[in-house]
A and B are shown apart, each in its own frame.
Chain A
Amino acid sequence: MSITVSHVSKRFRPRGAGEFVALDDVSVDLPTGQLTALLGPSGGGKSTLLRIIAGLETADAGSVRIEGVEATHLPPQKRNVGFVFQHYAAFKHLSVARNVAFGLEVRRRPRAEVQRRVAELLELVHLTQFADRLPAQLSGGQRQRMALARALAVEPSVLLLDEPFGALDAQVRKELREWLRRLHDEVPVTTVFVTHDQEEALEVADEIVVINHGRVEQIGTPDELYDAPANDFVMGFLGPVTRLGGRLVRPHDIEVTTRPGIVGGTRGRVERVTRIGFEVRLVVRLLDDGQPSRQDQVEVAVTRATQRRLGLTDGVEVWLAVIRGAAVPQMRPGVAV
């Protein structure tokens, strides 16, 4: 295991406010060479956990081991971790090349080696032609790539990224996360990144740790989490959910027919149709004996083709049923699958 976090707790006592539990007895093992996402809503404690691993924050209780070395009380300089901040933390007065060289310069490496390594890294992050610019002259995405090169320069045993794409716009975000995935395949350093964006986690990570209210809700691969979420929270956080027959299901795991053919089908009437590209989202009001007696609404996602074939428009009567093999919460409260 590259990073072992055992029984870590952290409380904050903001001035004038009560106590805030950021982490409550958290234990996680992060294997070497993997790309792991810490996923959860903001204020859930995931950034605190990352900062404790980096040594930028100290835990009230528990221990952290990095590459088998007891690191709980090591200062950040001695942990050999690379840290990337959401707002880049670029050294504003230094050129891009000097930013990347910083970690090597403070280690007093020979000048030739520093230059060679900086050139390599700038090549890796596609910033070679910007070497002499100041960070202020770069776009957000370029600044974050510079920050990444700077963190990689010292050959860290683990790379920690705190909401690395959080401050970027949607298009750049998407590009950068694909790029991060490719980079990780090229430079397979153990990487942990914090995100509140489930799509980002599902797309990039080998493994996802879901953290909420300072506790680990579930640890698993993207498929495991999506298909077999441990509880309602994980299911709801990883993708869209709706309620049918008293259970949580994904809107695309509902089968729609216009005739009462399916066993256990529930009758309803289409109330609203929203089309987003190839996907069509229906809001269906459930009916009791032809009357909308219950206030239940169900969201259903179908393809554009299905919608056209069945003629699903406002006011059409439909029967809904959960398909076989649908993702359902395992209902085991608490930890790990």
Chain B
Amino acid sequence: MAADLVADQLRDPAPVRWGLRVVTVGYVFLLVAWPTALVFRNALAGGVGTFLHAFSDPAVEHALALTLTVATWAVLINLVFGVTISLLLVRYDFPGKRWLSVLIDVPLSVSPVVVGLALVLVYNGRTGWFGPTLERAGIQVIFSTPGIVMATVFVALPLVIREVVPVLQEIGDEQEQAALSLGASATQTFRRITLPTIKWAVLYGVVLAVARSLGEFGAVKVVSGNLVGQSQTATLAVEQTYQNFQPQTSYAIAAVLALAAMACLVIVSVLRPKEGSA
């Protein structure tokens, strides 16, 4: 103990330690904590009644419902494809594997606005690649829910994969081989062995994907057309109500979105320590 203390003092003299703490805490406070707190303060400035009143507007109600629908679909799709792609990347060898791995990170590096624009170019009803064909079949992608879901899936794509891949790599395939040699089919092996081993990573990825899907703005704005009561999501509603001089409504929706994202973070931090023991 005493030795630790001495080592600690040798490494960082007191002024350096205190200086570092003040800078870090101040930085996070000014950049993250204070602005977020202000959103809640403003949302509740007129009392709980005013706060709740904001949600009686059918447009706001619709925006929140749409965001929920979109996030649900986007997360489900990312869950299924994320786990499948992770297994493919870790357990199988195929030509172009490295390219696929790089491609999966594209949504992290490319601006969501560009993602939205790219989707519009491919799926729009007049000049897109598939757009006209789909439209003739009665499916409208751009300016409607499918397009919003696609944009959200795109931006949240790497989240599940980047959580699951390292865990799959770490556990190796010996447990799966053991299961096979004990007579388990591929499906049984996946359900009984692989899935339970990666479940925390999957859940962690899903929580991140939920937070990302709820908050997506840029890509959704380009593909949705932002039609009030039709294709306007919650984030778009925040912007529009703010610009339309309804700050109270804007703050209220923003507070709900922030609350949902924070709930996700809390869930993650509660789950995290279990990763080790599970």
Partners in one complex: yes
Among the listed stretches B189-197, B236-244, B246-254, B265-273, which one makes contact with chain A, having 4 or more residues with CB under 8 Å of it? B189-197
A55 to B177 alpha-carbon distance, docked (Å): 10
**Contacting pair A154 B182 (CB below 8 A):** yes
Q: Report the contact-size class of chain A (Cβ under 8 Å from the partner).
A: 20 to 34
A310 to B185 alpha-carbon distance, docked (Å): 68
A80 to B177 alpha-carbon distance, docked (Å): 14
> A91 an interface residue at 8 Å Cβ cutoff?
yes
A238 to B188 alpha-carbon distance, docked (Å): 43
Expressed in whole angstroms, the minimum distance between the Cβ of A232 and any Cβ of chain B is 36
Interface string of B163-185 (1 = CB under 8 A from A): 00000000100110111111111
**Contacting pair B175 A92 (CB below 8 A):** yes
**Contacting pair B184 A106 (CB below 8 A):** yes
Total number of B residues with any Cβ neighbor in A under 8 Å:
18
Can you name 30 A-B pairs with beta carbons within 8 Å?
A56-B180, A56-B181, A76-B177, A77-B181, A80-B183, A81-B181, A82-B181, A82-B182, A83-B177, A83-B178, A83-B181, A85-B174, A85-B177, A89-B175, A89-B177, A90-B175, A91-B175, A91-B179, A92-B171, A92-B175, A92-B197, A93-B196, A102-B179, A102-B192, A103-B182, A103-B184, A106-B179, A106-B184, A106-B185, A154-B182
> B278 an interface residue at 8 Å Cβ cutoff?
yes
**Residues of the A chain whose Cβ atoms lie less than 8 Å from the Cβ of B181:** 54-56, 76-77, 79, 81-83, 151
Interface string of A51-77 (1 = CB under 8 A from B): 000111000000000000000000111
**Which one, A56, A147, A151, contacts B177 given CB within 8 A?**
A56
For residue B174, which residue of chain A has the nearest CB?
A: A89
Given A54-B181, A75-B180, A79-B181, 19 additional A-B pairs, CB 8 A: A55-B181, A56-B180, A76-B177, A76-B181, A77-B183, A83-B177, A85-B174, A85-B178, A89-B177, A91-B179, A92-B171, A92-B197, A93-B197, A93-B278, A102-B192, A103-B183, A106-B179, A153-B182, A154-B182
Expressed in whole angstroms, the minimum distance between the Cβ of B204 and any Cβ of chain A is 16
Question: What 6 pairs between A and B have smallest CB-CB spacing?
Answer: A103-B182, A89-B174, A89-B178, A83-B181, A106-B184, A93-B196
A83 to B197 alpha-carbon distance, docked (Å): 21
**Contacting pair A106 B178 (CB below 8 A):** no
A150 to B184 alpha-carbon distance, docked (Å): 13
How many residue-residue contacts, CB under 8 A, span A and B? 64
* B interface with A by C-beta (< 8 Å): 171, 174-175, 177-185, 188, 192-193, 196-197, 278
**Contacting pair B182 A150 (CB below 8 A):** yes
**Which one, A55, A79, A82, A87, contacts B174 given CB within 8 A?**
A87
For residue A57, which residue of chain B has the nearest CB?
A: B177
**Contacting pair A154 B183 (CB below 8 A):** yes
**Residues of the B chain whose Cβ atoms lie less than 8 Å from the Cβ of A153:** 182
A32 to B197 alpha-carbon distance, docked (Å): 37
Expressed in whole angstroms, the minimum distance between the Cβ of A323 and any Cβ of chain B is 48
Expressed in whole angstroms, the minimum distance between the Cβ of B270 and any Cβ of chain A is 19
> A107 an interface residue at 8 Å Cβ cutoff?
yes
For residue A54, which residue of chain B has the nearest CB?
A: B181
**Residues of the B chain whose Cβ atoms lie less than 8 Å from the Cβ of A54:** 181
A14 to B95 alpha-carbon distance, docked (Å): 14
**Contacting pair A77 B175 (CB below 8 A):** no
**Which one, B171, B180, B196, B278, contacts A77 given CB within 8 A?**
B180
A154 to B278 alpha-carbon distance, docked (Å): 27
Expressed in whole angstroms, the minimum distance between the Cβ of A133 and any Cβ of chain B is 13
For residue A92, which residue of chain B has the nearest CB?
A: B197
Q: Choose among B178, B188, B196 the residue with the greatest number of A CB atoms under 10 Å from its CB.
A: B178
**Residues of the B chain whose Cβ atoms lie less than 8 Å from the Cβ of A151:** 181-182
**Residues of the B chain whose Cβ atoms lie less than 8 Å from the Cβ of A75:** 180
Q: Kindly identify, within residues 82 to 137 of chain A, every residue whose CB is under 8 Å from any CB belonging to chain B.
A: 82-83, 85, 87, 89-93, 102-103, 106-107
Given contacts A77-B183, A107-B183, A91 and B178 within 8 Å (CB-CB): yes
**Residues of the A chain whose Cβ atoms lie less than 8 Å from the Cβ of B178:** 83, 85, 89, 91, 147, 150
Q: Kindly identify, within residues 143 to 158 of chain A, every residue whose CB is under 8 Å from any CB belonging to chain B.
A: 147, 150-151, 153-154
For residue A79, which residue of chain B has the nearest CB?
A: B181
Expressed in whole angstroms, the minimum distance between the Cβ of A79 and any Cβ of chain B is 8
Given contacts A92-B197, A93-B197, A106 and B177 within 8 Å (CB-CB): no
Expressed in whole angstroms, the minimum distance between the Cβ of A69 and any Cβ of chain B is 15
**Residues of the A chain whose Cβ atoms lie less than 8 Å from the Cβ of B278:** 93
Expressed in whole angstroms, the minimum distance between the Cβ of B178 and any Cβ of chain A is 4
A90 to B172 alpha-carbon distance, docked (Å): 12
A56 to B179 alpha-carbon distance, docked (Å): 11
A102 to B177 alpha-carbon distance, docked (Å): 13
**Contacting pair B193 A106 (CB below 8 A):** no
A77 to B189 alpha-carbon distance, docked (Å): 11
For residue B175, which residue of chain A has the nearest CB?
A: A89
Expressed in whole angstroms, the minimum distance between the Cβ of A47 and any Cβ of chain B is 13
For residue B183, which residue of chain A has the nearest CB?
A: A77
**Residues of the A chain whose Cβ atoms lie less than 8 Å from the Cβ of B175:** 89-92
**Residues of the A chain whose Cβ atoms lie less than 8 Å from the Cβ of B182:** 82, 102-103, 106, 150-151, 153-154
For residue A15, which residue of chain B has the nearest CB?
A: B93
**Contacting pair B174 A77 (CB below 8 A):** no
**Residues of the A chain whose Cβ atoms lie less than 8 Å from the Cβ of B196:** 93
A203 to B278 alpha-carbon distance, docked (Å): 39
